[in-house]
Amino acid sequence: CDNLLEPTPAQQLPADKAITDAGSARAAAIGAYDQVQAYYRLNWPVLGFLPGENVRFNGTLNQFLQIDQNQLSADNVLITEAWTQMYQAVNSANNLIAALPGISDPLLPAAEKNQLLGEVHFLRALVYFDLGRGWGGVPLVLTPTRTKENGQGLRRSTLAQTYDQVLADLTQAETLLPDGATRNRAVKATARALRARLHLYRQQWAPAETYATQVIASSNYRLVTPYRAFSTAPFLSQESVFELSFSNSDANTMWNNWFPSALGGQFNFQPVPAAIAQLNDPAVGGTRSALLASTVIAGANVTYGNLYSRSAQRDDPSYVLRLAEQYLIRAEARARLGKLTDAIADLNAVRARAGLSPTAATTADQLLLAIENERKIEFAFESDRWFDLVRSGRAGEVLGVTDQRRWLFPIPFNDLVADRDLEQNPGY
Amino acid sequence: GATITSYAQSESGPQVSGTVTDASSHTPLPGVTVMAKGSSAGTTTDANGQFTLPVSAGSALIFSYVGYAKKEVQAGSTPLAIDLAPDLQQLSEVVVTGYSEQNRKTLTSAISSVKGDALKDIPAASPDQLLQGKAPGVQVSANSGVPGGGIFIRIRGSNSVNASNDPLYVVDGVFINNTNLIATGLGNQVSANPLADLNPQDIESIEILKDANATAIYGSRGANGVVLITTKRGKAGDKTSITFNTYHALSKAAKQYNLVTGPELAALENERFLNDGGNPAQLPFRSAAAGGRGLPEEQQTYDRLSDVFRTAQTHSYELSAAGGSAKTQFYIGAGYFSQESIARPSAFNRFSLRVNLDNSVTDKLRIGTSTALARTHRNVSSNDNNPVGVINSALFPRTNLPIYNPDGSYAKYGSFDNHLALINNLNNDAVGTRVISNVYGQYALLKNLTLRSSWSIDFNDMYENNFNNTLILAGQPRGTASSFLSRDITLLNEQTLNYNVNFGENHSLQALVGNTLQQNTFQRTSLAGQQFPGNDLTTIASAATQTGSSSRSQAGLVSFFGKATYSFKERYTADVSVRADASSRFGADNRWGYFPAVGLGWRLGEESFVQDLNIFQELKLRGSIGRTGNQAGISDFASLGLVQGGANYLDLPGTAPLQLANPNLSWESTQQWNVGLDAAVLQNHLVLELNYYDKYTSGLLLNVPVPRKTGFSSVVENFGAVSNKGIEVQLTANWLPKTTAVQWSTSFNVARNVNKIEKLAAPITTGSRDIFRLEEGAPLYSFWLYKQTGVSRENGDAQYEDVNGDGRITVADRKLVGNAWPNYFGGVTNSVNYKGLDFGFTLNFEQGAKIMNMNRFFLVHGGTQSNIGYLSEQLQRWQKPGDVTDIPRLTSVASSNNYGGVVQNLSDRYLEDGSFLRVRTLTLGYSLPKETIASVHLSSLRVYVQAANLFTFTPYSGLDPEVNSQSGVSNTKNFDWATVPQPRTVQVGVTVGL
């Protein structure tokens, strides 16, 4: 009877025996990457570009249409999914952060132990940073969940507290991580690059400049030419500071959302005519016109987004941190700090790579607008435009989303019901 | 009658002996009670129907046996030969109950029986579908018209939220699996019904056990009711009877979607453009010379739907032989059934074989088997929630767009595939292999005490091979293929000890104890390939990239059970039963569950004060109460906190938390009481059965939502409660005396079930777009939508109920606006026989269920969906001040909330009344006179024509009110999204007896 009544799971492990030695610690770190990859595969890029004005939703699913039209409601299933995935990634990171110090395995040298710990601190920082810029202050869970009672009474923190936690994790990560030029796992420079972005979002211009400079100064990174090179197989270009790699067995099918059905896609995300015009304008898009491709369907020319294009290999990465952004972060920080010449140089570095003439901006205000517009084109199909405009307070002016309460995503309705500690963002 | 022959008295005193046989088949009847009238002497017949009783010749003997008319015989000289005639009265039929049989007279439970005759010849693949409208309180509806596809079946409502609500199926004592094994993603539809592996023609009877007294003997698996399927067995007779049965049918969709024409579409688009503030000079459909797409009236209309829907064929052939000697009886049958879907290219076929054998090795030992083998083949294709489904690809693209590109290639629009590309290239095969087999040995330890041991296997295997070539979207960019091998095996061992005794004339006792051991193993291996050299090399071996995976899971169940029925004068009956089950799915401390039940029956009709009324031929009151359990539908390791592999990155192995532990996890428990009344009046012309039940299920195995900040979204807990209360009525009228040439009977049943979620931790939303929501106090399958109060006559904008009164429409204004439960449902069966002619019809109906018509949701979109066409209903939109309609003006502006915005088109204007009354079958048959066919050496010949689903009366605007396109998603029902409707079928058939 005992055999009959106590079968052993063949493909799962008891949670308390999951992280005990070198092998299982490595696997848990990989698992944390996998969960960050999960929300960056589709949901996070979509929440970054679709509320902006470059891309329209051309499919049938209302949850995307709501995002496109800046009409989110709290029952939007994509919002719910992203929120869920992000906290899953946090829990994975928390598990390893809690277990690693207790592991003494001769096969896990101190250096590797530090590296793994640094990596999950970085990943947790990334998730909380994204949660913060998406929803504002969120509950800060820092210990692994064992029972559903864990975290009871934990309310939303403020945005400042959330960003403080991001900073704490990044500081830890920077200490623990090795130097190096790995681009799809975190190294010191990865933490610094995210830190530069964090300071930019917090309008801490001097440290933003400092940290961006540390990355830009590293010989491991450079702007690659032509523009398309960073998104060309085998990827992991020198421009990449952090990208999430995919492979055929761990596939990214983002291309399917961009390609027209004649090419086997669903054409859900369609560049709008204005964006097509800008990308194709030699004075604005330059070589970034390579983000577009076209094909003839029923006698008509159809233009589509081509950033994700590996339909057979399905190994398009998700782009998280690129050197071009570090230049633009520093340009903006310097413009704010009154270092206009340096700022212009940084902006021009990005423009030159795209085959454009130097910027005509001369005043700080002109320059800030030029940087904002440069980001719109440079990261046209990446997760940036919406957060950029919200950060600068210009989402109302540029996108017409005048109700500032709509600048934050709604907390998923279902989670509000399940979690008494949670409070909805105003306006939803 | 008794034959009296010469008799030599034995030395040991007076004795009477003899043999009891069935009057029609002459099979020996074991277990017949033989009593000497007026004395306590009595015995039962042995396995060969023989008995010896120490009474003197001339005594009056009374022979009684379940299902046979009681007989009194004056014992002359022995051996006696006694023929017992089956009791034709409906109320004394034999009913198969859990692990035994019982006379309906002494039954205290609520059990519906459907005889095989009532099921045969209906052109449906699986036997459960045949129960539709036949048994009160049993709600059966096909999820779609795809042959061999899933069936929604609920006995007395739904008890559970997360665990399964399907009944337990027991075929000749084998607990069978009814989990769909098809792994190919086909939208949200359950693609296969494992019961379609059974050939309906092999079935002798189906018993549906409904109340706790009937189901508690099945303990933890009985809560959702139990369907006992008994297959045909041979009877001893002079002659082996061979039957050949065949029918051929043509099916069509009874209704078609009504789409706008090309010109109408263009006019709608122009109107939308203007409503959105577009420049009148820039209308999308203006003359081509002005840079437009041509004037509306210049637009073509392309009909895609006619390519998809076809006249489909069904063929059925079945050959069986039954017979046997006094020692060995057999039934062997072979069948072939093939059915095309009315929507191309799906099809189903089945080869089935059955061997049922029984042999009396000695007087005391009997052995036998029930063994069935089936091979099914499904050509499957996706529909419903899938833009590359066949119906979707024909229904959704705009009607003004050509089917082919100018170069002759398939034209594809938006996210949709080309329907002809799919029809011509879909290549998804699912081949099922099923063995359901049982062998038993039965030994009479004592005269009244029998030990039975049986060993069973349910082996269910599904092998799928899919290849998508480059002509369809799923095959992009260079061909894709997948293959799945899934295997679900149940092993079962069971012992029962049966004790049957009559004390004197008035007391009878039936008792049994038993145990079962059960093990279920599920395994799946899957392979995928991408990038093929061409469209002709279709196996994964040819693919450039090959990936694979496998999974395995196992569960065990250990049970002990017992039951006893005591009856006094067949007037007062008491039942008691209990089962103890231990399941591997729960924590060690909560592993065992105990499921007791009692039932009481009182045949008032036997009391003199009722008999004096001279109204009732039968009047019986029944009552029962008991508890059953449920553990189906949760994962095999649901109680454990687990971390799972497969969370890979950079092609390195990774692990990630999977689920939270719940060591307290235990059984879902259903308490049910039932009161019933059976009555026969007007010389048995009118027979009534009434039941009222009240079920309360607590400790639901629920995915209780947990705060997502924990990194989990839910945990399986015993939390929450659901109740079902209802009434069932069955009325059978035999309009004419048994003696007239015309025989006419009608059976009518109706049931009402009220389902309510009594307790829930937090509301749970489910299904596409969270359209379904579970809330405390509301029934399951409730629709959560915005309530549209009207369309403004002044500006044409939709108006919604502002539920919380805050002056704006937000998600807080979504509310439960109805549910998918019918208020009443039931059926009518009518049959008329005159000489060789038979005429019959069956109806079934449901009243009051709501259906979410997603076809309208998508295709009445007001211009928000640039890749989707319109149903004609869109033409009813508001156009100018004063218009009265519930279809708002065309616009894609989000802030209007007309079709998009916060409301996301989730308006209850797409929620419809799904009531229907359907003429399920209409049959006219003729059996040739025996004399006519005797000359060609046939023993019987019947020819018939039948129409199925000839008429459906319904206010529902979709193709078919019997729809459940999200059957793969729990807690959803009545969701209509590009689903294959139930076909209208005409068939001819012939049954030949040799």
Q: What is the CATH number of the domain that holds B317?
A: 2.40.170.20
- Residue range(s) defining the domain that contains residue B40: 16-87
Same domain, B469 and B602: yes
Same domain, B25 and B169: no
Contact B709 A63 (CB under 8 A): no
| pLDDT interval class at B12 (50, 70, 90) | low
Mutate which: B631, B642, B643, vs A, most A CBs within 10 A = B643
Among A92, A247, A266, beta carbon nearest to B656: A92
Contact A415 B707 (CB under 8 A): yes
A13 touches chain B (CB under 8 A): yes
pLDDT higher than 90, residue A181: yes
Question: In sequence order, which residues have a C-beta less than 8 Å from that of residue B410 and are 6 or more positions away?
Answer: B403, B404, B418, B420, B421, B471
Contact B558 A4 (CB under 8 A): yes
CATH number of the domain within which B44 lies: 2.60.40.1120
Distance (Å, rounded) from C-alpha A428 to C-alpha B786? Answer: 16
Same domain, B167 and B48: no
Mutate which: B636, B649, B804, B893, vs A, most A CBs within 10 A = B649
In a 3-state reduction of DSSP, which class is residue B115?
A: strand
A5 touches chain B (CB under 8 A): yes
Distance (Å, rounded) from C-alpha A376 to C-alpha A384? Answer: 8
Q: How far is B768 from chain A (nearest CA, A)?
A: 9
Least confident of A128-142, B61-75, B600-614, B762-776: B61-75
Mutate which: A75, A254, A296, vs B, most B CBs within 10 A = A75
What is the per-residue pLDDT for A306? 95
Q: What percent of chain A has a predicted confidence (pLDDT) above 70?
A: 99
What is the per-residue pLDDT for B57? 77
Domain annotation for chain A: domains and CATH numbers: 18-245+322-418 (1.25.40.390), 255-316 (no CATH)
What is the per-residue pLDDT for B710? 96
Q: State the burial class of residue B608 (Cβ atoms within 10 Å of its Cβ: 0-12, 13-18, 19+).
A: exposed
Query: Is B871 a domain residue?
Result: no
Q: What is the mean pLDDT of residues A18-46?
A: 96
Distance (Å, rounded) from C-alpha B353 to C-alpha B953? Answer: 39
pLDDT higher than 80, residue B69: no
Distance (Å, rounded) from C-alpha B239 to C-alpha B975? Answer: 53
| pLDDT interval class at B50 (50, 70, 90) | confident
Contact B411 A75 (CB under 8 A): no
Q: Which residues in chain A (379-408) have CB-CB distances under 8 A to chain B?
A: none
Query: Is B514 a domain residue?
Result: yes
A146 touches chain B (CB under 8 A): yes
Query: Is B711 a domain residue?
Result: yes
| pLDDT interval class at A103 (50, 70, 90) | very high
Distance (Å, rounded) from C-alpha B580 to C-alpha B627? Answer: 11
What is the per-residue pLDDT for B5? 38
Distance (Å, rounded) from C-alpha B111 to C-alpha B215? Answer: 10
Q: How far is B323 from chain A (nearest CA, A)?
A: 40
Query: Is B917 a domain residue?
Result: yes
Q: What is the mean pLDDT of residues A189-206?
A: 98
A156 touches chain B (CB under 8 A): no
Q: What is the mean pLDDT of residues A6-28?
A: 88
SS3 per-residue string spanning A356-407: CCCCCCCCHHHHHHHHHHHHHHHCCCCCCHHHHHHHCCCHHHHHCCCCHHHH
What residues of chain A lie within 8 A of the CB of B867, using their CB? 58-60, 267
Query: Is B336 a domain residue?
Result: yes
What is the per-residue pLDDT for A1? 55
A73 touches chain B (CB under 8 A): yes
Query: Is B77 a domain residue?
Result: yes
| pLDDT interval class at B650 (50, 70, 90) | very high
Q: How far is B861 from chain A (nearest CA, A)?
A: 10
Q: What is the mean pLDDT of residues A225-250?
A: 95
Q: Which residue of B has its CA nearest to A315?
A: B650
- Give the sign of the dihedral formed by CA A197, CA A198, CA A199, CA A201: positive
B111 forms beta bridges with: B209
What residues of chain B lie within 8 A of the CB of A268, using their CB? 415
Same domain, B734 and B845: yes
Of the ranges A3-17, A168-182, B236-250, B503-517, which is most confident? A168-182
Using N-to-C axis directions, what is the helix angle for A110-135 and A77-99, rounded to 10°? 150
pLDDT higher than 90, residue A393: yes
Q: How far is A338 from chain B (nearest CA, A)?
A: 41
Of residues B140 and A163, more confidently modeled: A163
Of the ranges A118-122, A144-148, A264-268, B667-671, which is most confident? A118-122
Nearest Cα neighbor of A270 from A87, A53, A103, A81 is A53
pLDDT higher than 70, residue B400: yes
What is the per-residue pLDDT for B86? 67
Among A5, A60, A73, beta carbon nearest to B584: A5
Contact B582 A139 (CB under 8 A): no
φ, ψ for residue A113, nearest 5 deg: -60, -45
Same domain, B605 and B743: yes
pLDDT higher than 70, residue B31: yes
Q: Which residues in chain A (180-199) have CB-CB distances under 8 A to chain B?
A: 184-185
pLDDT higher than 60, residue B550: yes
Q: What is the mean pLDDT of residues A135-147?
A: 96
Report how far apart, in Å, the C-alpha atoms of B430 and of each of B182, B196, B427, B540, B940 are: 7, 13, 10, 16, 38
A299 touches chain B (CB under 8 A): yes
Q: Last residue of some domain: B87, B107, B141?
A: B87
Same domain, B77 and B215: no
Contact A5 B591 (CB under 8 A): yes
Among B475, B653, B656, beta carbon nearest to A35: B656
What is the per-residue pLDDT for B3? 37
Same domain, B34 and B149: no
pLDDT higher than 70, residue B359: yes
B830 forms beta bridges with: B746, B841
Same domain, B132 and B72: no
Same domain, B139 and B53: no
A83 touches chain B (CB under 8 A): yes
Of residues B156 and B25, more confidently modeled: B156
Q: What is the mean pLDDT of residues B946-953?
A: 94
Contact A139 B552 (CB under 8 A): no
Q: How many Cβ atoms are within 10 Å of B824's Cβ, its own excluded?
A: 15
Q: What is the mean pLDDT of residues A268-280?
A: 95
Contact A248 B530 (CB under 8 A): yes
pLDDT higher than 60, residue B8: no
Q: Mean pLDDT for chain B?
A: 90
Same domain, B134 and B81: no
pLDDT higher than 80, residue A231: yes
| pLDDT interval class at B9 (50, 70, 90) | very low
What residues of chain B lie within 8 A of the CB of A71, using their CB? 894-895, 900-902
Contact B473 A261 (CB under 8 A): yes
What is the per-residue pLDDT for A164? 98
Contact B706 A148 (CB under 8 A): yes
Distance (Å, rounded) from C-alpha A183 to C-alpha B151? Answer: 51
CB pairs under 8 A between A and B: 292
Same domain, B153 and B49: no
Among B406, B646, B650, beta carbon nearest to A184: B650
Q: Last residue of some domain: B31, B56, B87?
A: B87
Among A35, A415, A428, beta carbon nearest to B708: A415
Are B113 and B126 a contacting pair, CB within 8 Å?
A: no
Q: Last residue of some domain: B38, B64, B87?
A: B87
Of residues A1 and B168, more confidently modeled: B168
Contact B414 A150 (CB under 8 A): no
Query: Is B520 a domain residue?
Result: yes
Same domain, B57 and B186: no
Least confident of B35-49, B754-768, B823-837, B970-984: B35-49
What is the per-residue pLDDT for B92? 60
Indicate the residue type of A426.
P
Contact B708 A83 (CB under 8 A): yes
Distance (Å, rounded) from C-alpha A218 to C-alpha A190? Answer: 11
Q: Total domain count for chain B?
A: 2
Model confidence over B217-228: pLDDT tens digits? 998 888 999 999
Query: Is B106 a domain residue?
Result: no
Q: State the burial class of residue B580 (Cβ atoms within 10 Å of its Cβ: 0-12, 13-18, 19+).
A: middle
Q: Which residue of B has its CA nearest to A184?
A: B650
Q: How far is B988 from chain A (nearest CA, A)?
A: 44
Contact B811 A248 (CB under 8 A): no
